[in-house]
Amino acid sequence: MKCPFCQHDDTQVLDTRISEEGDSIRRRRRCVSCDKRFTTYERIELTMPVIVKKNGSRTDFDPKKLQASLQLALRKRPVSAEAVDAAIHRIEQKLLSSGEREVVSGQIGELVMRELQRLDKIAYIRFASVYKSFEDVAEFQDAIAEVGRERKVPPK
């Protein structure tokens, strides 16, 4: 670690502590050249994958857009804010754990549909109707029948 005062390359760690939140490490250092002391912090840097849209353009992942989509589908439905936050967290974790640098937007849509199917069947149908671009009543009926079949399957 370079000294911020004299730019010398050799510094000595005097003290190391984990932050109260547990998400960073604080190190107290001393420059062996100028003898000045300074503090450094180490933090984990996680980067979400870039989203590749249908038209080929790329954009940064925005959790606010994800939350807005879920809230729109769940509008006036009996689902708690905590359940929505947990769903968003699960989606973010799946994206991070994929290790991919780029993800197509359709993959995020599928993750959202899976979470909505868990949270609320009506919200799932709402989202699916837009996401899958239903064009007639038969497609709605198929989606509703699919949800109905899932309900009849006994839990394992």
pLDDT per residue over 76-93, tens digit each? Answer: 999 999 999 999 999 999
Helix (H) or strand (E) segment spanning residue 104 = strand 102-104
Report the range of poorest mean pLDDT among 8-12, 42-46, 63-67, 149-153.
Answer: 149-153
Please write the tens of the pLDDT for every residue from 57-75. Answer: 999 999 999 999 999 999 9
The sign of the torsion formed by the CA atoms of 97, 101, 107, 112 equals positive
